[in-house]
Amino acid sequence: MRALGLDIGGARIGVAVSDPSGRIASPIAVLEARDPARLVREIGLLVEDYEIERLVFGLPLTLAGDEGPQAAEVREQGERLGATLGIRVEYHDERHSSAEARRVMQEAGVSEREQRGSLDKVAAAIVLQGWLDARRARAGVEDRDER
């Protein structure tokens, strides 16, 4: 099952995609968030091109793990986009994803200047990878429970 990960920001949206087996997330794009109609078209094209079955939105929880106003806004955007595209939507905790993306890129030797264009999509890949790993872990527990 192929999934598209979205890291929603005020100005930009990071986008990542899983491989067809649903094991590995890869960063693919950063989209401008200012024009909602254009954004829906661009995401719709990605859904078609990659044959996406699930949208995974990074959910901005508080440090305590609670949902605040930002999380409510992401959920609203997610439900609206899922309904428009006719695709199932799920959410995954995005706490620390941008900091983790920055750390990974620094360790890879990517300069701060180069990070500006890629940070959002790398953060989206980190969120999507977390969702993929959690999904596989749940499936493993379910498989063991059925034995």
Helix, strand, coil % (nearest 5) of the chain? 55, 25, 25
- Quick: pLDDT tens for 37-60: 999 999 999 999 999 999 999 999
State the pLDDT at residue 141.
Answer: 57
In the three-class reduction of DSSP (H, G, I as helix; E, B as strand; rest coil), residue 121 is classed as helix
Q: Which domain holds residue 35?
A: 3-146
pLDDT range class, residue 127, cuts 50, 70, 90:
very high
The single-letter code of the amino acid at 38 is R
Residue 18: CATH number of its domain: 3.30.420.140
How much is the pTM? 0.88
